[in-house]
Structure 1
Amino acid sequence: MDENIATLATAIGSRVKHERLTRRMTLDQLAEAAGVSRRMLINVEQATMNPSVGTLLRISDALGVGLPDLVQSPEPKAVKVTRTGEGAVLWSSEAGGRGILVGGTEPPEVVELWDWTLGPGDEHASEAHTSGTKELLQVQQGTVTVGVAEQTFVLEVGDSVTFPGDVAHSYSNSTTELARFSLAVFERGVGSGHREANDA
């Protein structure tokens, strides 16, 4: 891992462990709630790996925190500013692609704002997110192909698409030029299931 990725992995690992211990959850309990292996969770907490966006989403949902909170410092702020270059790079490819989480709101109504670049031939496949998740994408550069369940949409600069994020979906670039898009992801009621389970 390069230095920036290692620093982010360490911050995420510390935050996951802090949130888990705050909730008095064992590694096994969080692993089961998140649908990941105990070994995977240990690797995340010890920052020995760079987990996928899907894995981070499952862990953040199980902890009842939004993904933006998982990659940022835990101090609550009324206004959060992310300067150019400060976003969390949560996906990258050998072709130059990057998925950067540039900001987001706090639970329970979480909105994430992403800046995505897809290199020539890049594809990012995403598993279904939690029920009710919505995504809104607008192409800033190049051509982006969005797959939503069995449907495929080819989008050019300025085009946008809104779709359910609770089904399998993908973003790809089948051209020889870079493509870039902005993505907003809305998750409703993050942590509410976790709170209900604790209240029972």
Structure 2
Amino acid sequence: METSAELLAQTIGARVKNERKKHEWTLDQFAELAGISRRMLVNVEQGTANPSVSILLKLSDALGLGLPALVEPPEARRSRITRAGDGATLWTGPNGGRGVLMAGTDAPEVVELWDWSLAPGERHQSEAHAEGTRELLHLLKGSLAVEVDGQIHELKAGDAMSFHGDTAHSYSNTHKTTATFSLCVYEPGVGHAHKSEITHVK
């Protein structure tokens, strides 16, 4: 029986492959455009990879879709509901922490809503996102250290912060209890950076 992680990987793979073919890009062309290796792209499309959030962002941006569109089937409805337990788990920590994408808007102005938990001793490192990305974080339980562009901010339960996500940043839990937080990510103009490249790729 397939696990939810395997089903998610297959859903993402099928969506990436379908969108790539819509653009009539070869594997090599799309891998170059997205800035990832051909091997990784093949593994993603086959549903055998466990790509990082960074890889998924590169793929979604190159396709002009936004990350939420990769993990859920396209729908015509104006309203979408993600039931408890049905979010897309796109990061898992070594001690049981999770990063779950709960909801998102369509491109080009993409807003993502995440549900995060970091178990004691866990750290999630994030590369700089696309220019203009902004993040809002609300710590619900525990304690959390958020490092943005080399500066560390210590948060306690109930604290919130906003920061630029287009620079390197990380979340760390150095305490003895699990930290849980909501994260909202705004990515403006998804796909725009690649529009000038598309004519050269075809």
- TM-score, normalising length: structure 1: 0.96
Alignment of 1:47-196 (within 5 A): 47-196=47-196
1:161 deviation in Å?
1.0
Q: Which deviations, in whole Å up to 9, do the C-alpha atoms of 1:152-189 show, x marking residues without a partner?
A: 00101111111111111001100010000000000000
Contact 2:117–2:179 (CA<8 Å) still a contact in 1?
A: yes
In the alignment of these two chains, the number of paired residues is 199
Contact 2:33–2:197 (CA<8 Å) still a contact in 1?
A: no
Alignment of 1:22-37 (within 5 A): 22-37=22-37
1:75 deviation in Å?
2.5
- Percent identical among aligned pairs is 54
What is the rounded CA distance, in whole Å, between the counterparts of 2:4 and 2:111 in structure 1?
A: 24
What is the rounded CA distance, in whole Å, between the counterparts of 1:199 and 1:58 in structure 2?
A: 18
Q: Which deviations, in whole Å up to 9, do the C-alpha atoms of 1:58-84 show, x marking residues without a partner?
A: 111111111000100023321111110
Gapped runs of 5+ residues in structure 2?
A: none
The answer to whether 1:20 aligns with 2:34 is no
What is the rounded CA distance, in whole Å, between the counterparts of 1:103 and 1:121 in structure 2?
A: 27
What is the rounded CA distance, in whole Å, between the counterparts of 2:136 and 2:194 in structure 1?
A: 26
What is the rounded CA distance, in whole Å, between the counterparts of 2:8 and 2:84 in structure 1?
A: 16
SS class of match (1:10): helix
SS class of match (1:21): helix
